[in-house]
Structure 1
């Protein structure tokens, strides 16, 4: 499963409303996200309105297309659009700016040691002892 990170900009005067709406996302929207292949999905909001999202998906394009095919997603995007800046008329889910991953701890541990990160416990003690 691939990891994806993205950002959007919430209007500073709408941040409280954005947070309020995400405290109780519509059950149909939650189910659609799950059923469309979104998992481990989180949103983080900085105090200037920068929204950073993280999601795991087998294929983000396919997950987004599956969401776009649902009625609830269109309703949700329409209801949320006025809370964002910089979308140039696009719905929020089409305005995601993907961020390239530059570091992932577990990937580097596996590359370095040739083993799963969970199996690395105690390796630093051995390395220190050998020095």
Structure 2
């Protein structure tokens, strides 16, 4: 199992909307993530910078960031595009983070 982390940026004042949307995650999206090997997925929020920090435990080679061509994922991106920084295709601007320490 590997651990992946990345950061994204939320638009100011959108923390509650972001949390509400994720707390009501679509069952088909959750199933897709699990079927793709994502067994744990946490997102944390830094109030000062509006930065979202995402962490996943993944089996296999991919993670949620590798599902860009899936129609469910594209629909989710469109749903979220009004509250966060996105690319021209509405995918979140996502910056991978390098793991520099891990304690077991």
**Fold match (TM-score > 0.5):** yes
1:7 paired to 2:4: no
**Aligned counterpart, 2:37:** 37
Q: 1: CA distance between counterparts of 2:9 and 2:54?
A: 11
Q: State the Cα RMSD in Å.
A: 1.7
**Structure showing greater relative contact order (alpha-carbon pairs closer than 8 Å, 6 or more residues apart):** 2
Question: Aligned pair count?
Answer: 101
Greater displacement, 52-61 / 35-44: 52-61
Q: 2: CA distance between counterparts of 1:68 and 1:8?
A: 16
Q: 2: CA distance between counterparts of 1:64 and 1:36?
A: 11
TM-score normalized by the length of structure 1: 0.69
Q: 1: CA distance between counterparts of 2:46 and 2:16?
A: 12
More helix by share: 1
Larger radius of gyration: 1
Q: 1: CA distance between counterparts of 2:65 and 2:87?
A: 19
Q: CA deviation at 1:47?
A: 1.5
1:21 paired to 2:18: no
How far does the alpha carbon of each residue in 1:62-100 deviate from its partner, in whole angstroms, 9 at most, with x for none? x533x2343211110111112112x342411xx211111
TM-score normalized by the length of structure 2: 0.84
Unaligned 5+ residue runs, structure 1? Answer: 107-131
For 1:53, what is the secondary structure of its paired residue? strand
